[in-house]
Structure 1
Amino acid sequence: MAEGAAPRVVKEEALPGGWVRLSFEPIAPDPALEVMELEEAQAVLTVLHAALLAERPEIRVLPPARFQLLGEGEEWGERRLRERFQARFGGMLLSLPEDLEQSRLYQALKLSPRYMGAGVREAARELFGSPVFLASVSMSIAVYFGAWLAPEPLFSKAFAVTLTAALALTVGMVEVANLALACVRLYWESEAAKTERELEAASEHFGRAVGGTGLRVLVMVASMGLAKATPAVPGGGLGALLGGPRYAVEGGLAVEAAATATVVANRSLILSGVATGEVAARLCGGLALCSTIEGKPSGSGTGAKLSTRYGSPHTRQNPPHNEAIEKELAAREAAGHTQLRKNKAQLDAQDKRVLERGTTGGPRFRKPDVSSLRPDGVRHNTNYVSNVRDLRRELDAFEAMKRLDPEAIHELYLLDGTLLRRHVPAGVSLP
């Protein structure tokens, strides 16, 4: 969709029994989504690796292609990844061996980038060279895309319902369905392969079927198995890969805990346990799409009221980023922090402005999104990444802030709470 173009309003039809049908009028493909840069792929891997390793920092991705707990034989990474995906999406719909890397599906996925188009091939090689990404895609096919085997796929877990609706509103139901069918075909052809040539043929069919938009959707589904937030894309972090929403439900769409979704033959989406129109607007607080799975809305979109308790809006174009800052500052105030600063020049523990000396063509100082002074006198700085395309810049800023004030705590997060980087000075503990 052209920059700034309004989303196409989805046709909405009430059905007996409280069901709602959403019909998506076809839209010409967005050329911007059909290309993926190498830098975008590298940013994706940074996020996925951080999400998997955050809870157990002693885990590392090790050659040749295995991620495991250092010093132990247990392949904690694969086991934990399975647990996360099944907790979010539900049980396995397609069987996979305990060792994901030994599955024919995993091996076929690894070969597929060579058959993808020139606009995405280099980025795909980067992505499919990561065991974390390959394992996440394999699990995505087993627990989510496997549902598309049915003539009319049914999703009964609210997480999967929300993700399906979010992807449909973002890129269109046809695009999501085409990717799902390509994934299912890859699974069956790779499982049936008896020779290397047959496995290669399965990879070729998949690679040629997946364009830039499909690859971006695949990234989103794989990342949602590791994410901490309810799926609502587009939005911050990896959601930015898909750009702005191409479709919208008038008044918004609220997905409730008992929601179900069915995709029918004409690629319309039939939902139960959802609210639209004025009811959705009240539940979602002005967001285009939200989930009320835990009794309160979560999601992303436009129209949300901007909080300004701790300072002027970080940006009016990105309400979720502003709200993340305000929420963090409120938590720190409750914990006894002082000198609560929102998007202001970096200070050290002695309240002196920290400047970059000798820089050219850039800022003389950094502006952490959140900065405060802990009760023990330690400065605590935090930044958030809204757009994955900005990840390299944000990582550079993190390193600069750490270099300028190594005695402070520095953190970098995605908006969904995924920790990307953290620096804690020696002798300092985190609560």
Structure 2
Amino acid sequence: MPQRTKPPAVARQQTRATGDGLTWVEPLPVLINPLSGNRLRLSFPASAPHPDMERLSVEEIRPLLAAFESFRPRARPRLRLMMESPGATDSGQERTAPWELRLREDFLSRYGPALLPVPESLETSRLAFALKLSTRYMDEGIREAAQELFSAPAFLASVSLSVLVYFAAWLAPEPLFSKAFAAALTVRLSLLVGLVELGRLAMACLRLYQEAEAAITPQELEAAAERFGKALGGTALRVLVVVASLGVPQVIPKVPKGGLWTLLSPLRHAPAGGPALESLATVQVVADGSLLVTGVAAGTSAASLCGELATCATMHGGGSSSGGGPKLSTRYGKPHTRQNPPHNEAIEQELARREAAGHTSLRKNKAQMDADGEPIYDPASAAGVRFRKPDVSSIRPDGVRHNTNYVSNPQQMQRELDAFDDMVRLDRAAIHDLYKLDGSLVRRYVPPGVNFP
């Protein structure tokens, strides 16, 4: 039977105002599944960007700009656009400045070798020129800060290296980060802003590079810069600043304490460092939207990996009624079970996706309902169950009922398949599906004449 992975969707998050005028957003749980060989699988829910991270002021980045200025003092801009045909070689007039050579060495020593060709001069490259142009098209809430940042030659060169070295790794179908620093950073950023947001930024950077290199006319380069500028939100710009800045270790000590990580502080539920993250060997971005982490120190807990403010749920040894386990989401109803937090979180996330898609009658672990909204009694159930209870049930905007169950334990697969068959038998006018917790589809029934995307 073909497997189908559910596409990521935006989940609803609870918010409240804080005394300092910021908006606090309840983080959605990260599911952590311990595997053999000191490995972890981290599954990230897709969520809307934090409202306070979608803006970036000049005041927030001034300490960082000052640190970059000390690395390479601001000089008269030397950027110039040379529209040679693709593949043409440099004339040799542009030489790599000593400060840029030092920056490259630092960057490559932390992130690993460049995966895309590095131009003779980053400062005068097409990519750097396109980055500068892109600030014209950024949102008003970040435009001024971006223009200040991208006018600093050392910072602009560092961003260019970020694209050529770190974000270039995302070109692979399932990107693999084998350099310890890059692996740890990928986990940190995924915990802070989400894997989906990080992946979108990487793809936007790579598209800008490809289109800038392929541009024949200034108009084509401008169009590429416009697409990038409009695609870059405040959260993505903050991540870009962090990735670029961490590649220049001389800059970091000159930034006030916490300066870099405070750029991501509204969502900060991951540590800036620590033994758990520093021990990582590799990180792979899996096609199902999760991270496969290897080289994790034995005995590492979810709390030590995610930080004290994280909402992480472990796949084994979940919470108990004593309150010592991970916090369970109850936005759509009481916990499905406290002994299996990932199952509960999968239900909550699916209900959030459906609410965002306009579904009504959102129900969590409630009796299966018929077209009249009445519980469906099952007199023929071989297991003696009177009412089937889908993990998730809702009504689509077109009026079609949709029921979903999840399989947590593969050893109970047959029981779940029998329950699926019973639910289909009881209501053949509804959509029914059965998923594993990793998002892979086990079985689906769609009524004749009903469209399913």
TM-score, normalised relative to structure 2 = 0.54
Please state how far the C-alpha of 1:39 moved relative to its aligned partner: 1.7
- Tell me the number of residue pairs that the alignment of Structure 1 and Structure 2 aligns: 270
Measure, in 2, the Cα distance between the counterparts of 1:214 and 1:74: 29
Measure, in 2, the Cα distance between the counterparts of 1:95 and 1:113: 24
Q: Secondary structure of 2:199's partner?
A: helix
1:7/1:246 contact within 8 Å kept: no
Unpaired segments ≥5 residues, structure 2: 1-14, 19-23, 80-94, 311-453
1:254/1:284 contact within 8 Å kept: no
Asked whether 1:126 is paired with 2:161, we answer: no
Measure, in 1, the Cα distance between the counterparts of 2:262 and 2:138: 22
Please state how far the C-alpha of 1:269 moved relative to its aligned partner: 1.1
Partner of 1:61: 74
AA partner of residue 93 (structure 1):
L
Asked whether 1:101 is paired with 2:114, we answer: no
Partner of 1:219: 241
Measure, in 1, the Cα distance between the counterparts of 2:303 and 2:205: 35
2:53/2:266 contact within 8 Å kept: no
1:113/1:207 contact within 8 Å kept: yes
1:12/1:23 contact within 8 Å kept: yes
Partner of 1:177: 199
Q: Secondary structure of 2:197's partner?
A: helix
Give 4+ residue runs of structure 1 displaced > 4 Å after superposition.
Answer: 1-7, 228-231, 246-249, 276-288
Change (3 A) 1:230 1:78: closer
Change (3 A) 1:246 1:172: farther
Q: Secondary structure of 1:85's partner?
A: helix
Measure, in 1, the Cα distance between the counterparts of 2:39 and 2:304: 20
Q: Within 5 A, what are the aligned runs for 1:115-264?
A: 115-227=137-249, 236-245=258-267, 247=269, 254-257=276-279, 259-264=281-286
Change (3 A) 1:247 1:42: closer
Measure, in 2, the Cα distance between the counterparts of 1:132 and 1:22: 35
Deviations 1:222-241 (A, max 9, x none): 1000136999xxx8112101
Q: Within 5 A, what are the aligned runs for 1:43-82?
A: 43-50=63-70, 52=71, 60-65=73-78, 75-82=97-104
Deviations 1:215-263 (A, max 9, x none): 00000001000136999xxx811210111445559xx981355610011
Change (3 A) 1:20 1:43: same
Please state how far the C-alpha of 1:123 moved relative to its aligned partner: 1.3
Please state how far the C-alpha of 1:140 moved relative to its aligned partner: 0.7
Partner of 2:35: 15
Unpaired segments ≥5 residues, structure 1: 54-59, 67-72, 289-431
**Bigger Cα Rg:** 2
Change (3 A) 1:29 1:276: farther
Task: Tell me which protein shows more strand as a share of its residues.
Answer: 1
Measure, in 2, the Cα distance between the counterparts of 1:98 and 1:74: 6
Q: Secondary structure of 1:243's partner?
A: helix
Q: What's the RMSD between the two structures over aligned residues?
A: 3.1
Measure, in 1, the Cα distance between the counterparts of 2:62 and 2:169: 30
Partner of 1:367: none
Measure, in 1, the Cα distance between the counterparts of 2:252 and 2:284: 20
Please state how far the C-alpha of 1:76 moved relative to its aligned partner: 1.3
Change (3 A) 1:64 1:278: closer
Percent of aligned positions with the same letter in both sequences?
53
Q: Secondary structure of 1:271's partner?
A: strand
AA partner of residue 64 (structure 1):
P
Change (3 A) 1:197 1:282: closer
